[in-house]
Structure 1
Amino acid sequence: MLKADFEEVHDLIIRFVDIFRYVYAHSPHSPALLPSVAGLVRSSGMFGPTLGFLLGSFCASLWVDIGVVDIDAININPKDTRWVGAWWLGLLICGAVNFIASLPFFFLPYSLTKEGEDENPKKISHLPVQGDHCKTDPPAQPQLKFSEAVKDFLPTLKKLFGNPVFLVYVFLTILQYNSLVGLITYETKFMEQQFNVSVAKAIFLVGVILLPITILGMFLGGYLIKKFKLHVTGMAKFACISFIVAYLLNLLYFMCNCEVIQLAGLTVPYSGFKQLSSPKNSFMASCNADCSCKMDQWDPVCGDNGITYMTACFAGCKSSTGMGKNMVFHNCSCVEGQEHGHGNASAVLGQCQRESCTKAFPYFLALQTACAFILALGGTPTYMIMFRSVSPDLKSFAVGIETLGGRILGGLPAPIYFGALIDETCLKWGTKSCGGPGSCRIYDTKAFSALSFTKDNFPQQSFL
């Protein structure tokens, strides 16, 4: 739901971007200036998501029932997968911003002065002419009928889609939208599961680092085209080299992979204890068989042995001290199998942190930042190739078709099928109070990483 926060902010800016695109399509400026304008137009569309990510990060760091529940009484922190941020607060803020932004429109005049007309035309006295008492009206402007517009639409559409370069660009745009929407929707979840980063921190890093560097790459791409006066062939080579370099850099993602969290009974066995053979009771072992643990409960604890248990009951803990987040469980029989003396094993609330994953996160972030910059650098040349390959009378129509195709075929289905594929990597599903399946608790991080690599490389693979 936090995705709605930056979508609301994005809508405030995207309308200005559409206006810029229309002006650019009819631009009377010299061709040498157009690449810089294209870079500015493309980069300006990223300011909305950037502000939205910052707002989403702030809301995600707050508990959903802010002001109602005592935060100290909650035994989870923002790094826990069960943490629910104040998603509704972002909707209220964006709604207020939209309302304030609409106020200036109430002060616009009833009708705007047409171009070339004087706001205060001077009155001109006419001498009476004998036999002519009629007033001469200005010639009526011809109006385009709907039937004529439809009649011209189909031939124009056929002519536009008969351009193979434009078709390739639209296909590439659709894949780029799929990749971008998939990144915006699920990149924070990937960081959370792969590197033990809280959702609030992940959203903040995307909004502060990835999106601004993308804006810089788009603008710099247009500047380089203008600086070196690249033609269509040169721009195609520039874009191809950029995408190849980004693709090769993305291969290094697999060096930043993290191992799957060690969850007793799921990813690792109960070492030193006999595990029950029934797949349904894979979390049950001889050390907790008499504890009557609930299979649908998820309140993970981290044992002294570095292994996570689904609950303190599954860890075989007999007692506890402390309250809330500071609660510590003692006499954990299932933890004692790891060279712990009798009665000395303990566990704390939360999943065990993977130190190697925490250390790998800065390298992953630097690698993704470099890839985002190089991809954005090659994005503006592909945009210019489309404009250079379309006839001047079809440029505005081409912009509309490209935007429509990208947002409908790229923006709408991407969260659906990416979400379905990510669900296939889930190892442990939660259970709702009504008995139905809940949210995923543990993902296969290796499969999740491979899926993220495929998602991020849609544009490069399609272009090559």
Structure 2
Amino acid sequence: MTGVMYAFATLGPALGYIIGGQMLNVYVDFNRVDSSRVSITPEDPRWVGAWWVSFLVGSSAFLMIAVPISMYGVELPTAKTVRETRVSEMHGDDGTYISSLAGHSRSLRNLPIALLQIIRIPPFLPIALAGASEGIITSGFATFMPKYIQNQFGVTAGWASMLTGFMVVPGAAGGQFTGGYIAKKLQLKVQGCLRVAIIACIICLIMAAALWTKCKFDRIAGITLPYSNRTNDNLPELITECNSHCGCNTEFYEPVCDKTSKIQYFSPCHAGCDTMSSDGKFYSQCTCVPVDPITNSSTVAVGKCESDCHLLYIFLPFIFILIFLTFMPSPPVVSATLRCIHESQRTTGIGLKWLIVRLLGTVPGPIFFGAVIDSTCVIWRENCSEKASCWIYNNSNMSRNFFILFIVVKAFSMIAFMTAYRLYKLPVDMKVRYSVGSAEVTVVESPSEHDAISSHDVLADKSLVI
């Protein structure tokens, strides 16, 4: 059930990527501007899609769904039966924990005491910190994976967003469903659930090598290769003798391509062009572009040079596996968290865990990944001599930085799960009450016998109660 719940919880964001990616192919101001008059296309770096439509539709759907959800009861009808047939796996439970809670009412004043008791459970904090590090990865990749694909493989923003959705739908949902199924099928206890998380982290560290997959950096004059006629090294990289009279700047990125040499220029100005064709697709009389011996002219075409790199479809299957393995431990880890805490404090424990995950993981995650991406910027958009946004990134540095960040964070997750595994102790003994008709018998089970007991093993005429 947990795996199914997590699978459906992941399906929503995944579909959001796909549908939102479609909206990015629609011009941002389509409701106020005639789209047929817009001269740029989604392939143009200056294109801005209709990002706001997804927020409008999503918020409206939330309001409609909130009404039926508010009609659900406090708990499901079967919750009491499940609660009564559950065997305690609380860390080191010796039967005295309930008495230690006596006198502590569930008031706000006693909340610090309850939080302290939960934090003092040895496996809890490592599991929460591992969740925070996993949150850094998931939130960072969810925010910047489309941008990463767009820059590394030269696709449009809309297609990159859709590809991310295509990977997330089967990867995250399938991974969480599989993790829940494994935990249920194998009847995993706390340590078994943590083993699943550790193994998944180890495989992810190996598969992270896929982040080195990238296309070659575009041949851009003044950035990846010098201008052919450059003689003055005191000028800025994008400025040379052939375009110094044009007054070029980096406020607008309008790439043009010399089809003959396959060299790209930052803008027609940086190519030294003087004349634009009537259809706006070509520029001629470009002083920085070598003269074509066949046409006896120096002409560039609007847009980036076409790439012959096809590594994207090698990259996607490996990233799918990474997503699958990253989300697979989620249901077992949640189960392990709930089981190592006393039942009366599980709600508070889950709340505390998610506070740690959000505060240390999902909130700073996009900031870390954004800083990694910005550190690889080659050409910034300058506005009044100040850096505004990045136009061109270094593909090699971006792959390297993403790989290092992923390895460091994932290794921390693995170490935290290993620490929780070592710190967790089985209950010292368990008081189990067997009920047969009106008679009740209390039995003390040993940890070894506890491992073999499951609520599914109870006969139809018996109930196993903590």
Residues of 1 paired with 2:311 and 2:293: CA distance?
A: 30
**SS class of match (1:247):** helix
Code of the aligned partner of 1:214: A
Q: Which residue of 1 aligns with 2:290?
A: 336
- Stretch of structure 1 that moved more, 413-422 or 454-463: 454-463
- Classify 1:276/1:455 alpha carbon distance in 2 versus 1 (closer, same or farther; 3 Å): same
* Shift of residue 303, structure 1, vs aligned partner: 1.2
Which residues in structure 2 correspond to 1:383-394 (within 5 Å)? 383-394=334-345
Task: Name stretches of at least 5 consecutive residues in structure 2 with no aligned partner.
Answer: 78-102, 416-466
- Classify 1:150/1:91 alpha carbon distance in 2 versus 1 (closer, same or farther; 3 Å): closer
Which residues in structure 2 correspond to 1:32-71 (within 5 Å)? 37-71=1-35
Q: Which residue of 1 aligns with 2:219?
A: 262
Residues of 2 paired with 1:157 and 1:91: CA distance?
A: 36
Specify which structure has the higher proportion of helix.
Answer: 1
**Contact (CA 8 Å) 2:246, 2:272: kept in 1 or not?**
yes
Q: Are residue 451 (structure 1) and residue 401 (structure 2) matched? A: yes
- Classify 1:74/1:343 alpha carbon distance in 2 versus 1 (closer, same or farther; 3 Å): farther
Q: Which residue of 2 aligns with 1:382?
A: 333
Residues of 2 paired with 1:293 and 1:150: CA distance?
A: 63
Which residues in structure 2 correspond to 1:200-219 (within 5 Å)? 200-219=158-177
> Given the two structures, how large is their TM-score scaled by the length of structure 2?
0.75
Q: Are residue 345 (structure 1) and residue 298 (structure 2) matched? A: yes
- Aligned pair count reads 387
- Classify 1:417/1:236 alpha carbon distance in 2 versus 1 (closer, same or farther; 3 Å): closer
**SS class of match (1:442):** strand
Residues of 2 paired with 1:236 and 1:295: CA distance?
A: 51
* Shift of residue 295, structure 1, vs aligned partner: 5.2
* Shift of residue 149, structure 1, vs aligned partner: 1.6
Q: Which residue of 1 aligns with 2:234?
A: 278
* Shift of residue 361, structure 1, vs aligned partner: 0.4
Match of 2:348 among 391, 397, 415: 397
Code of the aligned partner of 1:100: M
Code of the aligned partner of 2:219: Q
**Contact (CA 8 Å) 1:39, 1:221: kept in 2 or not?**
yes
* Shift of residue 252, structure 1, vs aligned partner: 3.0
Which residues in structure 2 correspond to 1:428-447 (within 5 Å)? 428-432=379-383, 436-447=386-397
Match of 1:321 among 258, 273, 277: 277
* Shift of residue 371, structure 1, vs aligned partner: 1.4
**Contact (CA 8 Å) 2:272, 2:288: kept in 1 or not?**
yes
Residues of 2 paired with 1:342 and 1:101: CA distance?
A: 64
**Contact (CA 8 Å) 1:276, 1:282: kept in 2 or not?**
no
Match of 2:115 among 132, 157, 178: 157
Residues of 2 paired with 1:377 and 1:103: CA distance?
A: 32
- Classify 1:289/1:343 alpha carbon distance in 2 versus 1 (closer, same or farther; 3 Å): farther
Q: Which residue of 2 aligns with 1:307?
A: 263
Deviation per residue, 1:117-141 (Å, 9 max, x gap): xxxxxxxxxxxxxxxxxxxxxxxxx
Q: Which residue of 1 aligns with 2:127?
A: 169
**Contact (CA 8 Å) 1:300, 1:312: kept in 2 or not?**
yes
Residues of 1 paired with 2:58 and 2:240: CA distance?
A: 51
RMSD: 2.9
Residues of 2 paired with 1:148 and 1:92: CA distance?
A: 40
**Contact (CA 8 Å) 2:133, 2:412: kept in 1 or not?**
no
Residues of 2 paired with 1:149 and 1:395: CA distance?
A: 16
Task: Name stretches of at least 5 consecutive residues in structure 1 with no aligned partner.
Answer: 1-36, 116-144
Code of the aligned partner of 1:416: I
Residues of 2 paired with 1:371 and 1:414: CA distance?
A: 17
- Stretch of structure 1 that moved more, 63-72 or 420-429: 63-72
Q: Which residue of 2 aligns with 1:178?
A: 136
Q: Are residue 87 (structure 1) and residue 51 (structure 2) matched? A: yes
Q: Which residue of 1 aligns with 2:462?
A: none
**Contact (CA 8 Å) 2:17, 2:165: kept in 1 or not?**
yes
Q: Which residue of 2 aligns with 1:190?
A: 148
Q: Which residue of 1 aligns with 2:209?
A: 251
Residues of 1 paired with 2:106 and 2:327: CA distance?
A: 40
- Classify 1:74/1:371 alpha carbon distance in 2 versus 1 (closer, same or farther; 3 Å): same
Residues of 2 paired with 1:148 and 1:45: CA distance?
A: 30
Relative contact order: is structure 1 or structure 2 higher (C-alpha 8 Å, sep ≥ 6)?
A: 2
* Shift of residue 103, structure 1, vs aligned partner: 5.2
**Contact (CA 8 Å) 2:253, 2:267: kept in 1 or not?**
yes
Residues of 1 paired with 2:48 and 2:8: CA distance?
A: 31
- Classify 1:59/1:146 alpha carbon distance in 2 versus 1 (closer, same or farther; 3 Å): farther
Residues of 1 paired with 2:151 and 2:69: CA distance?
A: 45
Code of the aligned partner of 2:265: Y
* Shift of residue 367, structure 1, vs aligned partner: 0.7
Code of the aligned partner of 1:310: F
**Contact (CA 8 Å) 1:430, 1:437: kept in 2 or not?**
yes
Residues of 2 paired with 1:99 and 1:395: CA distance?
A: 29
- Classify 1:104/1:44 alpha carbon distance in 2 versus 1 (closer, same or farther; 3 Å): closer
**Identity level (%):** 27
